[in-house]
Amino acid sequence: MTRITRIASAAFLMAALLSMTTFASAQAVFTTATAAGGQLIADQNTGAVTWCVALTGGTALSPTPTGVCAKIGTATPSATNPSLSISDWFSNGTSGGTSFITNVYTGKVWQCEYYYNSNTDVIYGDCAQRGTAST
């Protein structure tokens, strides 16, 4: 009896997962990359680009994570996901950096710059389309 219950439970869970797959496809899909003391995140559905700072505040004896994230811009995704790719980051000499986001289907390239002001706990940044990759 227990064995049948487990099989029935597994079948029920599989059916539930399959039904959620359709629902989940409408959910956000994210691409992330390590970037200048944090994570750069591109939302594959909306194109929103967010930078989260992983730097710590406080003192050396009592560090605390900053926990600061901010939308710094938008890139244009394609209907087929994932379409946005994030490059490695480059230091811009401040508490931040520069990354490039490319739409792998259209070739459009955005340059995103971002930095963190630890005095005010604020992220500054923007993303601007810089051109199209040539084939």
Residue 47 domain-assigned (yes or no): yes
Residue 1 domain-assigned (yes or no): no
**In this predicted structure, which of 9-18, 46-55, 90-99, 121-130 has the lowest mean pLDDT?**
9-18
102 pLDDT above the threshold of 60: yes
Predicted local distance difference test score (pLDDT) of residue 104: 93
Which range of 24-33, 96-105, 113-122 scores highest in mean pLDDT? It is 96-105
Residue 12 domain-assigned (yes or no): no
Mean pLDDT of 57-76: 73
Residue 4 domain-assigned (yes or no): no
- pLDDT band per the 50, 70, 90 thresholds, residue 11: very low
Predicted local distance difference test score (pLDDT) of residue 60: 54
Residue 10 domain-assigned (yes or no): no
Residue 71 domain-assigned (yes or no): yes
* pTM of the model as a whole: 0.69
Residue 57 domain-assigned (yes or no): yes
Mean pLDDT of 46-66: 71
Residue 34 domain-assigned (yes or no): yes
19 pLDDT above the threshold of 60: no
Mean pLDDT of 9-14: 40
Long-range contacts of 63-66 (CB under 8 A, 24+ apart): 66/116, 66/118, 66/121
The boundaries of the domain holding residue 51 are: 28-132
The secondary structure element, H or E, covering residue 21 is helix 2-24
- For the chain, how many structural domains are there in total? 1
17 pLDDT above the threshold of 70: no
Which residue shows structure tokens 């992330």? Answer: 32
Among residues 82, 34, 24, which one has the least CA distance to residue 54?
34
Predicted local distance difference test score (pLDDT) of residue 68: 80
Predicted local distance difference test score (pLDDT) of residue 2: 30
